[in-house]
Amino acid sequence: MAVVGPWRLAWRRLRRNRVALGFLGLFVAIVVFCLAAPLWASEVAHTGPNKTHTLEKIQAGGEVREVVNREGRPIGPQWLEADGKFFLGADGRLGRDEMVRLMYGGRTSLEIGFAAALLTTLLGTLLGLLAGYYGGWPDTLISRALDVIWAFPVTLLAISLGLVLAVGGLQIGPLHLSGSSLWITILIIGGVYVPYMARPIRGEVLALREREFVEAAEAQGAGPGRIMLTELLPNLSSTIIVFFALNVANAMLLEALLSFLGVGVQPPNGSWGTMLSSGLDLLTSAPLLTYLPGAMILLTVLAVNVFADGLRDALDPRSKVRIEAHSGLTKAESVEGIAP
Amino acid sequence: MRKPGLVLLVLVLVAGSAVGLAACGGSSGKEGGTLTGTYASFPDYLDPALSYQPEGWTAMYDTYLPLLTYAHANGAEGSKVVPALAKSMPKISDGGKAYTLTLRKGLKYSDGTPVKASDFKTSIERLFKVNSGGSFFYETIVGAEKFAETKQGGIPGIKTDDTTGKIEIDLTGPRGTFTNELGMLFAAVLPAGTPAKNLTADPPPATGPYMITKVEPGRSWSYARNPYWAKANGPAIDTVSAGHVDKIEIKVVRNDSTQVNEIERDKADWMQTPIAADEYNKVKDKYEGTQFRVEHPINLYLFWMNTEKAPFDDLKVRQAVNYAIDPAALERIYAGSLAATHQILPEGMPGHEPFDLYPHNMAKAKQLIKEANPADRNITVWTDNESPNNEAGAYYEGVLNELGFNAKLKEINGDNYYTIIGNESTPDLDTGWLSFYEDYPHPNDFFQAMFSGESIAPTGNTNLSRIDEPKLNAKIAKLDEEPLGPEQEAEYAALDREFMELAPIVPYGTNTVPTFVNSEIDLSKVIFNPTFGQDLTSFQFK
C-alpha cells in the first residue's frame, strides 16, 4: 500500500473544492488583467496612467468628443468606439484614461497587498518562532512588544502612522523613504498585522516544542537555529501558507482604506483606494468611477479569502472530517493518507 | 347712549391689526432659531490672532471685533472700513505716523469682563508672542520689530489710557494701509490675560454679537448669542447688527456632495465650502436666484515656486513653468467657476491693468528648460486635498513632468495645509498650490504678504516663493506709505509687471464663490463680505 504524502493529500482535497478553485481562477484572472496594464496602455489606449487629457478631443462614434467638457464633465465609457481609448471613460476633470488607471491601480494594490503580506508573514513567523521556542525573557519581551501594537485598533494605528509618515517620510539612519513612496504604505500595513500572525505562530511553536521529535533533535546536539529551521518550520508551513493568503486580503483591504482616506498611496499614483476616493467627487455624474474600483476591491478580496479558506481546509488535518463529507474520500484515505 | 357692538368691533379690529403686525415682524423674517452650517475643513485656527484662512475669518467675523471693522455689506460697500470697538475712524497725524482712536464706553466681553483700552496693546503684543502669520502687518508700530524678536518689554509705540479709552499708535513711518489693517481680525481686541498660545480648542471671550461656546477641533463648533451684546456692546456699536438666529451649529463635512445633499434635503441651512466642480453647474442651474448666488471675492489662485531652491532659483525655469501652464485646462478643472488670469492683481483690485507676459506656449517652455538645463529635477508639488485644488495640483505635476522634471505630488489635508507649507522646517518645499483671498481691498495686501522679503517668516509664512528683491521691497514699502490714488494705482500696475517678469509664481485664475442655502433661509438677506465671506448675523429664516 502506497503512502500518500501530506502535500499530495492536501492537493487532492483542494482539487475537490471547486468553489475555492473557482475563486482562485478569478484571482488569477484579476492578476493577469492588472499585469496586462502596460500592454493595454501602449497598444490600445496609447496613454499612461497619470497622463492628463483635459483639453483634448477624440474621434469616437463618428464624431469629435471632448475628453473633458467646459463644465468639467469627463467623457463617459467609449467602449470600442474610440478604438479602445477611454474604454471606461475618463477619470475626472484631469481626463486620465479610467481603464488604464484601473489596471495600473490594480498592480499597485496587488503589489502592496503581496509585499505587506510577505512582510507580515516573515516578521510574524520569526517573532513567533523566537518567542515560542526560547520562552523566558525573550518570549516576555517579544510578547509585550506585540501587545503594545495589538492594543491599538489596527485601522486607527495604520491611519495615524500614515498621517505622520505621508508628510515627512521615514528616515532611519541612512535609509530615507519619501512620503510618497509605496514602501511607506507597505511597511505600515505589514507592521500593524504582525501581532495577528506572531501570536498564533507562537502558540503552535509552544505546542510543537514539547513534541518528541524536537527533544530527539536536541538530544542529537542540534542547535536552536537548526531545530527552528528544520523541525519546527516545516510543521508550521501549512499555517504559514494559509496566513499568508489571508494576509494578502487583509493588506489589500487596509491599503484601500488608507488610500481612500489619503494616507496610503499618494496621488497622482493610483490604487483602487485612491480611485475610489477621487470617484466620490463625481458620484452623481459619473458613478462608474466609484463602482469600478470598488468592485475590483470586492472581487479580489473575496477571491483571496475564499481560496484561503479552501486552502486551510485542505492543509489543516483537523478539518479532514468535513472535507471527507464533501469529497467522498474513503475512510482509509482520510485516516491514514494511504492511496487506495 | 353707548353702542357696545360698535366698541366691540373696534376692539376686534385693533386686536387683529396688532396680531397681523406682530406676525409680519419688523424685518419680514423669523427671528431666532438655530442655523446649521457645514464646512469641508476645520478652520486653520479659531483664534483671531492666528487664523489666516477664509474659513477662519468667516467663522470669527461676528465674534471678535477689532477697533475698526469692515462694513457688514455686500460688494464694494463691504470693503469700507468703519468703526467697531472704536468710537470713530482714527485721527491720523504726524504725517501719517500717528493714529489716535478712542474706545467706546461700557463695552464688555462675553464673560462680563469690561473691555479696556490697554487690551488693544496686549492683543497686538500677543500677535508677536504667538508668531502670528499676520504680525507683519503691525511691525511698523514703534518698537514692534524689537518686541517680535525679544517678546519682552511690550510695544512702546502703543500708548493707552483705560480711564479715557484713548489709544495712540505711533508708526515708524507712514503706512497707507494701516487703517485697513486695524480692521483685520488679527487686531481683534482680547482680554489682557489671554494666554499666548493657540486657543482654538477653547476660544477667548467674544466682543461681537455671537460667542463660540463649544469646539470639537477638527469636527465642529457652536455659537450662541453673546449675552453682553444686547446689554452693552450692541447699543454702542451701530455698525454691526445683532444677528437674527439665536444659535449656530457648524460641523465639518469633508465630502462636498454630502454637503450639497444636506442643503437640498434641508438637513443643513448653509454650506461655507465652494461647491465641488462636479455639482456646481447642476446646483447653479437648479437653484440660482432662490437658494444659490454667485459671489465675487477678490482672490488669486496660483502656484508658488520656491526661488531659494533649485530648480526654481533659476529665472528661466520659472518663466518656462509660466509658459507651460494652460489656463484653459484649469478653467475646465474648476468647472467654469474660474476666470483665467496670468498676473498678480486680479480684476476688481485697484491697480489692475490686464496683461499676459507668458501666453501658453509649451514649445517655448521646453526651450527655456533646455537653456536652463537644471541639475536638480526632483520636485515636490504641494496641494491641499480639497477638490478641485488637488486636481489643479495633479495637473501642475503633470505639466512639470512634461517639462522633464521628476515631480511628485503631495496632498495635504486642508485643515493643515497652510500650517505645513508655511513652516520653513517642512522638507521639500519646492512648489505648490495656493489661493490668496484679499485681506483688504488694497494692492499692497497682495504684494506685502506674498512678495515682500519682510514677510518671510519661519512659521505662518505667506511669502511662499521666498522672493526677496531689495529694489522691489523698497517699492512696496514706499507705496505702502502713500494713500491710494490714481498715481499709486499706476505704480502698482507697474509693480505687477515687474514681479511677473521675475515669475516667482504662476497665477492662473480668480475663483467665484457661491452662497448656497436651503429653502428655509432668506437668500436675499444673506450678506457676503468680499473679505470675510458670509456674514453670520445676516442669516435669517423665512
State the angle between helix axes of A98-134 and A233-260 in degrees (0 to 180), rounded to the nearest 10: 140
> In whole angstroms, what is the distance from residue B336 CA to residue B119 CA?
46
User: Is the minimum CB–CB distance between B329 and chain A shorter than 8 Å?
Assistant: yes
Q: Do B282 and A284 touch (CB under 8 A)?
A: yes
> In whole angstroms, what is the distance from residue A129 CA to residue A122 CA?
11
Q: Do B388 and A179 touch (CB under 8 A)?
A: no
**Minimum CA–CA partner of A48 in chain B:** B398
Residues B5-41 as b/e (b if ≥16 CB within 10 A, e otherwise) read eeeeeeeeeeeeeeeeeeeeeeeebeeebebbbbbbb
> In whole angstroms, what is the distance from residue A104 CA to residue A87 CA?
15
Residue in this structure with the C-alpha cell 442651474, named with its chain if needed: B285
Q: What is the pLDDT at residue B126?
A: 97
Looking at the partner chain, which of A52, A72, A180 has a beta carbon nearest the beta carbon of B277?
Answer: A72
Verify cis geometry, omega within 30 degrees of 0, for the bond prior to B427: no
> In whole angstroms, what is the distance from residue A264 CA to residue A183 CA?
10
Looking at the partner chain, which of B333, B385, B410 has a beta carbon nearest the beta carbon of A179?
Answer: B410
Residue in this structure with the C-alpha cell 502596460, named with its chain if needed: A38
Q: Do A93 and B281 touch (CB under 8 A)?
A: no
Q: Is B386 exposed, middle or buried (0-12, 13-18, 19+ CB in 10 A)?
A: buried
> In whole angstroms, what is the distance from residue A240 CA to residue A124 CA?
9
Q: What is the pLDDT at residue B483?
A: 84
> In whole angstroms, what is the distance from residue B538 CA to residue B542 CA?
12
Q: Do A54 and B278 touch (CB under 8 A)?
A: no
Instruction: Report the 3 state secondary structure along B299-347.
Output: EEEEEEECCCCCCCCCHHHHHHHHHHCCHHHHHHHCCCCEEECCCCCCC
Q: What is the pLDDT at residue A181?
A: 84
Q: What is the pLDDT at residue B179?
A: 94
Q: What is the pLDDT at residue A318?
A: 63
Q: Do B332 and A92 touch (CB under 8 A)?
A: no
* pLDDT 10s digits, A264-276: 888 767 899 999 9
State the angle between helix axes of A18-35 and A288-315 in degrees (0 to 180), rounded to the nearest 10: 130
Interface of B with A in 287-326 (CB under 8 A): 326
* pLDDT 10s digits, A122-178: 999 999 999 999 989 999 999 999 999 989 999 999 999 988 887 667 888 888 887
In a 3-state reduction of DSSP, which class is residue B293? Answer: strand
Can you list the alpha helix ranges (DSSP code H) found in B132-216? 144-150, 178-182
User: Is the minimum CB–CB distance between B327 and chain A shorter than 8 Å?
Assistant: no
* Count, residues in chain A: 340
Which residues of chain A does B426 touch, with a Cβ-Cβ cutoff of 8 Å? 167
Q: All 3 cell numbers of residue B268?
A: 443643513
Q: What is the pLDDT at residue B19?
A: 44
Q: For domain A26-35+99-315, is the CATH number 1.10.3720.10?
A: yes
Alpha carbon distances (Å) from B108 to B59, B227, B495: 20, 10, 44
Q: Do B255 and A280 touch (CB under 8 A)?
A: yes
From A73, A75, A52, select the one nearest B336 (Cα to Cα): A73
Residue in this structure with the C-alpha cell 513632468, named with its chain if needed: B401
Q: What is the mean pLDDT of residues A31-59?
A: 94
Angstroms from B381 CA to nearest CA on chain A? 11
Could you tell me if B123 and B49 are in contact, meaning their C-beta atoms sit under 8 angstroms apart? yes
Could you tell me if B13 and B245 are in contact, meaning their C-beta atoms sit under 8 angstroms apart? no
**Minimum CA–CA partner of B397 in chain A:** A268
Backbone φ, ψ for residue B28 (5° rounding): 50, 35
Looking at the partner chain, which of B335, B412, B427 has a beta carbon nearest the beta carbon of A71?
Answer: B335
**Helix, strand, coil shares, percent, chain A, to 5:** 70, 5, 25
Q: Do A284 and B257 touch (CB under 8 A)?
A: yes
Angstroms from A260 CA to nearest CA on chain B? 12
**Minimum CA–CA partner of B378 in chain A:** A178
Q: What is the pLDDT at residue B493?
A: 97
Looking at the partner chain, which of A55, A70, A179 has a beta carbon nearest the beta carbon of B326?
Answer: A55
Angstroms from B423 CA to nearest CA on chain A? 13
Q: Do B336 and A72 touch (CB under 8 A)?
A: yes
Q: All 3 cell numbers of residue A135?
A: 520562552
Domain range list for chain A: 2-16+323-339, 26-35+99-315
pLDDT at A333 over 90: no
From A60, A88, A59, select the one nearest A74 (Cα to Cα): A88
User: Is the minimum CB–CB distance between B410 and chain A shorter than 8 Å?
Assistant: yes
Which residues of chain A does B414 touch, with a Cβ-Cβ cutoff of 8 Å? none
In a 3-state reduction of DSSP, which class is residue B87? Answer: coil
Q: Do A94 and B395 touch (CB under 8 A)?
A: yes
Angstroms from B37 CA to nearest CA on chain A? 20
Looking at the partner chain, which of B281, B329, B420 has a beta carbon nearest the beta carbon of A55?
Answer: B329
Q: Do A281 and B409 touch (CB under 8 A)?
A: no
Instruction: Report the 3 state secondary structure along A182-231.
Output: HHHHHHHHHHHCHHHHHHHHHHHHHHHHCCHHHHHHHHCCCCHHHHHHHH
> In whole angstroms, what is the distance from residue B281 CA to residue B292 CA?
11
Handedness of CA B523, B526, B532, B536 (dihedral sign): negative
**pLDDT mean across residues, chain A:** 87
Interface of B with A in 236-265 (CB under 8 A): 255-257
Q: All 3 cell numbers of residue B326?
A: 494652460
Q: Do A281 and B387 touch (CB under 8 A)?
A: yes
Q: What is the mean pLDDT of residues A222-241?
A: 88
From B281, B171, B333, B266, select the one nearest B542 (Cα to Cα): B266
> In whole angstroms, what is the distance from residue B451 CA to residue B305 CA?
12
> In whole angstroms, what is the distance from residue B72 CA to residue B85 CA?
14
Residues B215-236 as b/e (b if ≥16 CB within 10 A, e otherwise) read bebeebbbbbbbebbeebbbee
Which residues of chain A does B276 touch, with a Cβ-Cβ cutoff of 8 Å? 281
> In whole angstroms, what is the distance from residue A225 CA to residue B345 CA?
72
Looking at the partner chain, which of A93, A267, A282 has a beta carbon nearest the beta carbon of B409?
Answer: A267
Could you tell me if A230 and A153 are in contact, meaning their C-beta atoms sit under 8 angstroms apart? no
* Count, residues in chain B: 542
Strands B158-161 and B98-102: unpaired
Report the complex ipTM.
Answer: 0.71
> In whole angstroms, what is the distance from residue B536 CA to residue B513 CA?
16
Residue type, A299: L
Alpha carbon distances (Å) from B463 to A167, B175, B389, B453, B541: 21, 20, 19, 8, 42
Alpha carbon distances (Å) from A85 to A169, B42, B454: 36, 40, 52
Q: All 3 cell numbers of residue A197?
A: 500572525
Which residues of chain B does A94 touch, with a Cβ-Cβ cutoff of 8 Å? 333, 391, 394-395, 398
Best probe of the B interface among A50, A57, A71, A285, by most B CBs < 10 A, is A71
Q: What is the mean pLDDT of residues A9-17?
A: 87
Which residues of chain A does B409 touch, with a Cβ-Cβ cutoff of 8 Å? 180, 266-268
Q: What is the pLDDT at residue B227?
A: 97
Q: What is the pLDDT at residue A167?
A: 66
> In whole angstroms, what is the distance from residue B393 CA to residue B410 CA?
9
User: Is the minimum CB–CB distance between B34 and chain A shorter than 8 Å?
Assistant: no
Alpha carbon distances (Å) from B317 to A4, B404, B462, B465, B505: 71, 11, 22, 14, 11
The count of other CB atoms within 10 Å of the CB of residue A174 is 5
Which residues of chain A does B336 touch, with a Cβ-Cβ cutoff of 8 Å? 70-72
Residues B415-447 as b/e (b if ≥16 CB within 10 A, e otherwise) read bbbbbbbbeeebebbbbbbbbbbbbbbbbbbbb
**A317 band by pLDDT with thresholds 50, 70 and 90:** low
Q: Do A168 and B427 touch (CB under 8 A)?
A: yes
Ranges in chain B, pLDDT < 50: 1-4, 10, 12, 14-26
Looking at the partner chain, which of B278, B397, B426 has a beta carbon nearest the beta carbon of A268?
Answer: B397
Residue type, B463: N
> In whole angstroms, what is the distance from residue B526 CA to residue B58 CA?
13
Give Cα A285 to chain centroid, integer Å.
31
Looking at the partner chain, which of A92, A266, A280 has a beta carbon nearest the beta carbon of B410?
Answer: A266
Angstroms from A290 CA to nearest CA on chain B? 14
Q: Do B394 and A268 touch (CB under 8 A)?
A: yes
Count of H-run helices and E-run strands, chain B = 17, 21
Q: Do B329 and A52 touch (CB under 8 A)?
A: yes
From B243, B235, B225, select the one nearest B538 (Cα to Cα): B243
Angstroms from A52 CA to nearest CA on chain B? 7
